[in-house]
Structure 1
Amino acid sequence: MSGSNQDFSPKDWLGQSAIVDLGPTIAGVEVWGEQTNQAFRKTLFDWYDREGRHLPWRESKDPYRIWISEIMLQQTQVNTVIPYYQRFLQAFPTVEDLAAAEEDDLLKLWAGLGYYSRAKNLHRAAQEIANDYGGQFPRTAKELKKLSGIGPYTAGAIASIAFGQAVPAIDGNAMRVFSRLFTINADISRQKNHAIFREVVTYVMGNERPGDFNQALMDLGSSYETAKKPLSDISPIKDFNLATLTGTELDYPVKLSKTKSKTIHYQALLLENSQGQYLIEKRPSQGLLANLWTVPLFEVADQGASDQQEEEERQPYQNLVAEAEAVYDVRPVVMKKSIGHVRHVFSHRLWEIDLYYAKLSPAAEKRWQDQEDSDWVFSHDLNQHAYPTVQMKIWQGLKDYLAE
């Protein structure tokens, strides 16, 4: 099909499947007619009413609760989100409570979920709702997108689920389901192609139960229509699914580009004072892990293979001692051998961290000058500061070493 965003046509299965009529071509995709649309929606809703997931944020149409859940669910598994969601609502039961919260308290509650810009955008958006909208949520996707951290997907989810607006919520699940339904060959890793799915989903969903339609697509995408092991032969929508009918499920969705993660090597300084406390530092207000607390992390420069590098690899602690002395103006006593290693994967980079245990000598401790945005803490006291997941791994590495 020249100029098409589709590999197979529904007309080839007319009368041989659940496809009983044909509709227009939308964004280069031949779609069903309204009779098939209605049959598809009935099939989808019947399945969703029987088997849809029972999740705490689905117990009401409160836009605040829906918003919190949708932001938490970005890049995070449902089972991980549930306890965080419940604790979050206990701490901040209303948008006004969230707007009035201290950012440090919010980050402590968020610690472990990752992608901390989500929490900061939640805070900003809550303040925008409180100050600009009188504490009332905007009721349309267009207005919701004006809030910090709310893009087309989240706006569509809130507007459809809370307010019944017939707008799609296009995420990976929706694109995977619809790319298979219509064998759409547009690369979903390209942002501009999301508009194709938005148009097609809008046409198929109609005005009937738009919130349930979007949530049913989420549930389908996480159950029968998974990325690697779809259960297409028993999927409730199999008779509508061109990819199932043509045996090409694993060809969809099309995703061509994938950026390779960058690996960064660090040395972590676990510096203990005479009280058994460890030095931690608050990270800058901008960038990765902004405003969160970690032990001192010294990036190891990638110098390529050289005699100098080989010498450094034989005694890496010497560089760490020099770095620490330059920063803190004292010379810590560092273990010459790494006590452990931590690997942490972010969406776009990989951190490889060697852990070094060190102590301040009595003389060094007398000369110690506290740095701005630093503190001494006990490693078992995890509630005093907001720690990212990577720091929790470092604490565990220290605990394992001390237990040996």
Structure 2
Amino acid sequence: MKTRRVSERLPLLPAVEIALPLLAWYDESRRVLPWREDGNWYRVWVSEIMLQQTTVKAVVPYFDAFLSAFPDVRTLASAREEDVLARWAGLGYYSRARNLLKAARIICAEHEGEFPADFRSALALPGIGRYTAGAILSIAFGASFPVVDGNVSRVFARYLAFRGQWDSGSAKALWDLLNDVVNDEAVSGRVGDFNQALMELGATVCTPRAPLCPECPLGGLCQARRLSLQNSIPVKRHARPSVSVDYTVALVKNEETFLMTRTESGLFPRGLWEFPRIAGRPGNDAAARLEGEQGLRMEIDQVLGRVIHGITHHRITIHVVEAKLAHAALPDGYAWINPHSPGVGLSAYVKKVLKLFQRTHCGPPPNSPKSGDSLNRR
């Protein structure tokens, strides 16, 4: 059994005491997920990119739809960016989709359509860092690389009752310690399962709030549980203060279509369709600003309301006005788009605005709760 002290921050990790109960628990309790069906590297790769900063529950429906549209790396590599973004729309962090497409083209052009099994070559692909490379290579190819993400860090911060601030130095020490563990004979042949088990444990049992300690396969050795510190470890970082931002969007409808343009820059995802938008709240000068900034001569009919949207630490208030064009000619970049057509990629805020439009013009959708009804959320 290999163990070594790499830092005064973290003590030794006993491979056998961790791996055996963890793998037994994983064999019994692991979730059935579409990318676990056969360990195909393409499915593993797409899932790992989607799961960056996103929950399994949110990813599953997008994964199925994405694989339906792009079932293999060559199909993805030949796709247009706008089609990839359309399938990604709503999942957020759109640079992941662009990097996925770039990486697919590199894999086809430079690696004969196969994911590179060499760690350095995997790291060289767009959108792939140390964690993602280790996850793909261990799960799809059985290579002995560890993974450290937020879930894994939380598991070991509690397991070791680490009471300091968990920072990059702590994470580096854990990477080194887990590198020894995944190369130990206790994990031999099951590195991918071991890594998935750690991530699964952090996601389903050793959760950020109210961890399910009685269900934990490592509970008997967990120092935080022994000291009743599981709810205070790891030490929480101070939340980044939110920034409030206001925008005004104009809805111009023509039968089943709306006047829309693709986002080019700023907070919202580049390349997706959105409504004409200007910074700030609506006012008497809204029409003049829309003409000055967007080249659109409009007449504002009414204010429909507002929706709240969040991007990273930004709290965005979208003020929605209904308008009509004062002339038929459209500036470059604008088109009449049916937002409900298949394959049209929309910014997430646009879907909220469309729901507001539906409520103000047609009432709530069929079978929706009446105002004041409570909603059960999971």
TM-score (norm 1): 0.83
> For 1:150, what is the secondary structure of its paired residue?
coil
Structure 2 portions without partners, runs of 5+: 364-378
> How is 1:274-293 mapped onto 2 (pairs within 5 angstroms)?
275=255, 277-284=257-264, 288-293=268-273
Q: Quick one: structure 1 residues 384 and 179, their matched pair in 2 at CA, closer, same or farther if it must change by over 3 Å?
A: closer
Are 1:55 and 2:33 matched, yes or no? yes
The answer to whether the Cα contact below 8 Å between 1:23 and 1:30 also exists between their aligned partners in 2 is no
Give the aligned partner of residue 297 of structure 1.
277
Residues 317 and 335 in structure 1, CA contact (< 8 A), matched pair in contact too: no
Q: SS at the partner of 1:180?
A: helix
Q: Could you tell me which residue of structure 2 aligns to residue 197 of structure 1?
A: 174
- Partner of 2:283: helix, strand, or coil? helix
Number of the residue aligned with 1:309: none
Sort the Cα spacing of 1:385 and 1:371 in 2 relative to 1 into closer, same or farther, 3 A: farther
Alpha-carbon distance in structure 1 between the residues aligned to 2:95 and 2:60? 19
Aligned to 1:335, the other structure's residue is in SS state strand
For 2:317, the equivalent position in structure 1 comes to 352
Q: Following superposition of structure 1 onto structure 2, how do residues 3-402 of structure 1 map, counting pairs within 5 Å?
A: 24-28=4-8, 29-32=10-13, 36-188=14-166, 190-207=167-184, 208=187, 209-273=190-254, 275=255, 277-284=257-264, 288-300=268-280, 316-327=282-293, 331-336=297-302, 338-360=303-325, 364-365=326-327, 368-379=328-339, 381-383=340-342, 385-402=344-361
Separation in 2, partners of 1:163, 1:84: 24
Which stretch of the first structure deviates more once superposed, 233-242 or 320-329? 320-329
Alpha-carbon displacement from aligned partner over 1:24-44 (angstroms, at most 9, x marks no partner): 422222214xxx421321111
SS in structure 2 opposite 1:31? Answer: coil
CA distance in 2, matches of 1:62, 1:148: 20
Compared CA separation, residues 147 and 329, structure 1 to 2 (3 A): closer
Q: Distance in 2 between matches of 1:22 and 1:137?
A: 30
1:334 and 1:80 mapped to 2: Cα distance?
37
Deviation at 1:251, TM superposition (A): 2.3
Does structure 2 retain, via aligned residues, the 8 Å contact 1:139–1:159? yes
CA contact (8 A) 1:266 1:299 kept: yes
SS in 1 for 2:336: strand
**Deviation (angstroms), 1:276:** 5.8
Matches of 2:4 and 2:290, distance apart in 1: 67
Q: Structure 1's 294 and 329: CA in aligned 2 closer, same or farther, altered over 3 A? A: closer
Per the TM alignment, residue 169 of structure 1 is displaced from its structure 2 partner at its CA by 1.3
Counterpart Cα distance in 1 of 2:260 and 2:99: 25
CA distance in 2, matches of 1:340, 1:149: 38
Mapped to 2, the partners of 1:330 and 1:203 lie a distance apart of 62
Equivalenced residue count is: 358
CA gap of 1:164–1:219, structure 2 versus 1, over 3 A, is same
Deviations 1:215-250 (A, max 9, x none): 001111112100011111332211111111111112
Q: Distance in 1 between matches of 2:137 and 2:293?
A: 51
Alignment correspondent of 1:3 = none
- The 1:271/1:198 distance shift into structure 2, 3 A limit, reads same
Identity %: 34
After superposition, the C-alpha distances for 1:295-331 in whole angstroms (9 at most, x for unaligned) are 011111xxxxxxxxxxxx8xx4312122123245564
| CA distance 1:169–1:261, shift in 2 (3 Å) | same
Q: CA offset at residue 332 of structure 1?
A: 2.3
Contact 1:341 1:352 in 2 (8 A): yes
Mapped to 2, the partners of 1:317 and 1:242 lie a distance apart of 59
CA shift for structure 1 position 349? 1.5
Secondary structure, in 3 states, of the residue corresponding to 1:340?
Answer: strand
Bigger radius of gyration, 1 or 2? 1
Say whether the 8 Å CA contact 1:328–1:369 is kept in structure 2: no
Judge which range, 227-236 or 112-121, deviates more. Answer: 227-236
- On the 8 A contact 1:344/1:351 being kept in 2, the answer is yes
TM-score, length basis structure 2: 0.88
For 2:373, the equivalent position in structure 1 comes to: none
Distance of 1:127 and 1:329 partners within structure 2: 37
Letter in 1 for 2:198: L
Root-mean-square deviation (Å): 2.2
Gaps of 5+ in 1: 1-20, 301-312
Cα separation, 2, equivalents of 1:244 and 1:153: 27
Cα–Cα, structure 1 residues 232 and 374, in superposed 2: closer, same or farther, change >3 Å? same
* Aligned partners of 1:268 and 1:298 also within 8 Å: yes
Q: Cα–Cα, structure 1 residues 183 and 376, in superposed 2: closer, same or farther, change >3 Å?
A: same
